[in-house]
Chains A and B, each alone.
Chain A
Amino acid sequence: MASHRCLLLKGVKSMSGINPVVGAKDVKPKKPKKQKSSALYKQEHRVAFLFVLAPVIGFLLFSVYPFAYSIYASFTDWNGLNRMNFIGFDNFVKLFQDPYFYQTLYNTVFYMIGIPIGLGLALLLAIALNRGLRGTTFFRTVYYIPVISSLAAISIMWAWAYNGDFGLVNQVLEIFGVQGPNWLENTSTVKPAIILMAVWKGLGYSMLLYLAAIQSVSKSFYEAADLDGANSFQKFLNITWPMVKPVTFFLVITNIIGGFQIFTEINIMTPTGGPEYSAASIVWYVWQKAFKYYQMGYGSAMSLILFIFIFIVTVIQFYLNRKSDYSLD
């Protein structure tokens, strides 16, 4: 902030220096004039500063302060109700011995299997919809509906669909003579069931971004490829895929960050974390600890670890992306 201010003031000085009215010989009248114009700029600067101040205060108050507070809380035995006692690294020591911490972390990472599946499907759909077939607009809307629907409503709906007795999924399976499991109550099916739902929910969003990316690829590339006799798979591999790579990168990052924070689906579809905690995600466990078991300090410690994880993963991704980055003029 300070350096920025200096730059502005410097600008003011040099501008008045250029002013031809101010003679080089006469030094005295130069001063008041210079002060006058810089007062105006100062004034303007002050106003600008106030405008900037509002979001800065908001950021400090609602992001930095809670973040710092949460870091401090992770070193205390705070129960969320009353005073906090500083207990050093106790929470973290306990955390790394907590089997449910690993279990929920594993579950959370497991859910991310859905990311490549979802992106692959989204890209396929986007390519299909880009062909200009009939009913494209209709399907675009259809695939986008889950995105704009409330996640809570969707979760309730899917929980019904997965119901072992009366669920739509098992009824459909029955037509093919398959006796479906009780999806959400079985340790081996609950995670795939939730992944399936998450993929379905996220498909429309990824598809739309891919569609936009594909449509912005210049036709001349494909024409050139046609002249060279490339088949459609080669065109996809060498033109479409590299051209939509930035979108893929963006989606992978946002999906991983979102994936680490998966909560609503879990909380609604498996309110107790699923049989033997097989569905519980890390954020769900944090919430459980902090708000249900009165261990806000422990919950804070866990979310701090989660933050570090997300941070590291994102840094790695940015690094990888920069390595594979290229530009096409």
Chain B
Amino acid sequence: MSGGKGGTTTSETKIPQYIEDASKSNLALADKLSNIGYVPYYGPDVAAFNPMQQAAFQGTQQAASAFGMPTGEGQYMPQATQFAGGIQGYSSAPMFEQAQQNLAQYRPAQAQYMDSFFMNPQSGSAGVNAAPIGAAQGYSPQGYTNTSPLGAQPIDISRSGKG
């Protein structure tokens, strides 16, 4: 662009309107999605020892006992949980819940401030610092209905380990 006594020359590049609309829509979508927050995993993380492995462990203890050596009696591993499909394993979910509870107990302001940026995972209401465009306030959570053919049920948080 040049100006002055010789006049002014302007060069303008325009993007199509549909792309502009799509960009705005994507920004609005991003705002909505940003309210989701962290989605934890409540399934198994580590496969449990199976009976054959436990038999081997017991065999080692019996060998030690047969020769009068200490056996390390007692089970160190916690009890495994049986999940859908007969999978037995350990889940980090209870520990995650426990850590979250502890954070809320010992550093409540910090925990609540973090939570304020996202929707309430139970009620669906938006946090006070949630994205303004997201319109998460209008989100109406639906009751959960288990339709899994495997019969998996969501974890009952009230019964998971806390402490």
Say whether A and B bind each other: no
Interface of B toward A, CB cutoff 8 Å: none
